[in-house]
Amino acid sequence: MEHQHSSHQDHEHHTSSSHGEHQGHDKHAGHSPEMFKQRFFVSLLLTLPILYFDPHFQEWFNYQAIQFPGSSWVSPILSIVLYFYGGWVFVQGAWRELRSRIGMMTLVALAITVAFVYSLAVTLGLPGMPFYWELATLIDVMLLGHWIEMASVQGASQALEHLAQLVPSVAHRLVDERLENVSVSELQAEEIILIRPGEQIPIDGVVIEGASSVNEAFLTGESRPVSKQEGDEVVAGAVNGEGALKVQVTRTGEKTTLSQIMRLVQEAQSSRSRYQVLADQVAYWLTLIAIGVGTLTFVIWLSLQDLTFAINRAVTVLVIACPHALGLAIPLVIVNATAMSAKNGILVRNREAFERARDIKTIAFDKTGTLTEGRFGVQAVYVEGLSKKEALAIAAALESLSEHPLAQAIVEEAEREHVQLSSATDFKAIAGKGVEGKVGGKSYCVGRPEWIGELGIEFPLSVQSGLEESEAKGESVIALMDETRVLALFALADRVRESAREAVRQLQQQGIQVVMITGDAEAVAQTVAADLHLDRYHARILPSEKAQLVRSLKTKAPAAFVGDGINDAPALLEADLGIAIGAGTNVAIESADLVLIEDDPVDVARALKLGKATYSKMIQNLLWATGYNVIAIPLAAGVAYPLGFLLSPAVGALFMSLSTVIVSINAMTLRRVPLA
C-alpha cells in the first residue's frame, strides 16, 4: 500500500516539476505516512530526556534532575540525533525547494537549523541560553503535522487503489471445452472465459452463453444488479451474481473500462487547479514575508533584549508562518472531490472546467438519448369497436414478426400491459406500408396511416381525431385495420426519461436555465419541452449547428452542454463545461470535461452541486490558511510581549499544525455534501 502511494506521489512530483511549478504536498515525493509516523515516535522518545534535563522544566515542575559525569551533554547529543533523524527530512525538502521555488520546507528547515546551530554554539561556549527543548518539540510537532497530512492525502487518494483491487488476478480460460486458470494479463481479445457465480469479472467482454445479474456499482454508483444475457457487454471489476457466464474477451489491460476510469481519476487528482496555482503564489509570498519579518524581528529584539530572546522570536515567526496549511488547502479538496465524483459515476477529465461549474447559468441538453430514451414507446391508443388490450393483442401478434423499431415498441407495450399474444399466420411484410396476416383466422393489416386511403376502408371520426391530435404533437402513428375499417391507432414517440423530469426540476431549483436542442421537428420538440416544463428549446438543429448555438448561449451567460459525446464533440468542446452522458463502457470521451457513466440526467445536477461545493471548500481553505497568519505572525514576532503574552516556537509549531489539521478536516467534510 505504502509503495503504491509513494510511487503515486513521485508521479505527481515529476509531473509538476516538469512544468517547473511548485506544488505543496509534492515536497513529500517518496515519503509515506509510515515514515513520518515512525520518525515522530522515535523523536518523541528522544525528546523526553531533553525535557527532563532542561532547566526550565526543572524550575516549572520543581524537581532536580539527576547529575552524573557528562549529564550536561545528554541534551546536545540527543538534539544532534534528533536534528539529523527527525529534522533532516525538512532540510532535504528545503534543498529541493531552493532549486525550484522556496516554500514551506525552507521555513521549517531554516527555523530548526537556526535553533540547532545557536543552541550548539551556546553549549560550546557562546554566552546565552540554548533552547534544545524548543528544537526537539518543534521537530516532534512538525513530524506529527506531516504524518496527519500525508495520512489524509493518502486516505483520499485510495479511490485509485480501491479501483485497482477490483480486478481479480486469475481468470478461467476455456480452451477446447477445457478450463485452465491463467493470469488476467495473459488474456487476449477473442478468447473465451468462464465467470462463475459470485466471481469478479476480470476483463471487458460480451456474454456468449448464460444469463445472470451483475453488480456494476463501482462503475455506475447504482447498487441494483443489471441483468445480462447473450450479446450483453460486461466490464472488468463488476461482480457476477447467480448464474455462470461464458464471455468473449473484447478489451484487455489498459483498454478496459476500469483502466480508463483509473487513468481519468489519476489525471484529475494530479491535475493542476487554478486555485492551486493561486495557493502556491500566496505560499511563495508568505515564505518571503516570513523570512523578511523573521529577520526584522531578530534585529529589533536584538537591540531591545538578548540574543536568545531575539533568536527565539525569529524562529517562532518562521515556524508559525509556515504555509503548510496553504500547500494542503487545494490538493486535499481535489483528491476528495475526485474520489467522491468517481464514487458517484462522475469522471472529471478537466479539473479547471469542473471548478467553473459554479458559474454555469445556462445548460443545454441534446434531446435524443439524453432527455429521452432514444427509443420509441406507445404514448396513446385510440380504439373503435374493441378494447385497448384487444387492439394491442392483434397488433403485437403481427408486429412480433416484424424487424421495424416501431413494431418493437408495440410488442413492448403489449408485454407491459400483460396482454396474451395469439400467433399470426399468413404473415407478409409490404415494403414502405406495413405488415398483414391472420390472427384468430381473421385478416388484419398494421401500417402507416397513408395505407388507409389506398385500401379505401372506413375511417371512423373518433379515431380520425386521434390521428390529428398525435400529428400535432409530432408523434408517429401506426394504424390497425381489418378488411372493412380502421380499428385502432397507436401514437408512438421517443419516451421522455423519468429521471429527465427530476434533473430539470433540480437544475431549475439551482437557478439554472435549461435549454433543449434537437434535430427533431418543431411539434416533437414542443411536446417534449412541455412535458419537461422547459420554456426554451431549439428544434431542427443540425449536428453541425449545435456548436454554433452553444457559442451564442455562451455570450449571454456561462453555459454547459450535455450530450452523448459521440456526435456532440464540437458542442462539448465549445461549451464552458462539456458533459458527456451515458458513456457506459465507452468512457474515453476526449471532448468532454465531465463524463457521466450512467444514462441518468440527474447526475448533471449532482455534478454541478459537487462543483459548487468543491469551489466553496477551496475558498474556505484558502481564506483560513492565509487569514490566520494575519494574527499569528505579529503574535509570533512578540507584539503582545509588553502585555505579558509570548508564543514559544513549540506553541507556534502547534498552531501551525492545528491550522493544517483544520484545513484537512474541512476538505474531508466535502464527502458529507448530499448530492442526491
- Positions annotated as catalytic residues are 366
DSSP string, 279-317: HHHHHHHHHHHHHHHHHHHHHHHHHHS-HHHHHHHHHHH
Q: How many whole angstroms separate alpha carbon 147 and alpha carbon 33? A: 5
CA 315 to chain centre: 41
Cell 518523541 locates to 44
Backbone angles phi, psi at 418, to 5 degrees: 55, 45
C-alpha cell at 355: 471548478
The residue type found at 217 is A
Beta strands in 555-637 (DSSP E): 559-563, 577-581, 594-596
**In terms of Cα–Cα distance, which of 255, 363, 392, 409 is closest to 608?**
363
Cell 510537532 locates to 141
Q: Which helix H or strand E contains 628, and what residues bound it?
A: helix 602-637
Provide CB contacts within 8 A for 566, sequence distance 6+: none
Q: How many whole angstroms separate alpha carbon 455 and alpha carbon 416? A: 31
Residue 161: how many other CB atoms lie within 10 Å: 14
**In terms of Cα–Cα distance, which of 263, 240, 268 is closest to 253?**
263
CB–CB of 512/612 below 8 Å?
no
Assign 94 to helix, strand or coil: helix
Backbone angles phi, psi at 381, to 5 degrees: -130, 125
CB–CB of 338/348 below 8 Å?
yes
Task: List the alpha helices (DSSP H) in 103-131.
Answer: 104-123
Q: How many whole angstroms separate alpha carbon 605 and alpha carbon 512? A: 10
C-alpha cell at 495: 419516451
Q: DSSP character for 20? A: T
Q: How many whole angstroms separate alpha carbon 329 and alpha carbon 24? A: 9
Backbone angles phi, psi at 228, to 5 degrees: -130, 135
- For the stretch 298-302, contacts whose Cβ atoms lie closer than 8 Å and that sit 24 or more positions apart, written own/partner, are 301/638
Assign 535 to helix, strand or coil: coil
CB–CB of 621/329 below 8 Å?
yes
Assign 247 to helix, strand or coil: strand
Provide CB contacts within 8 A for 33, sequence distance 6+: 2, 5, 147, 150, 151, 154
How far is residue 42 from each of residues 90, 139, 150, measured CA to CA in Å?
16, 11, 18
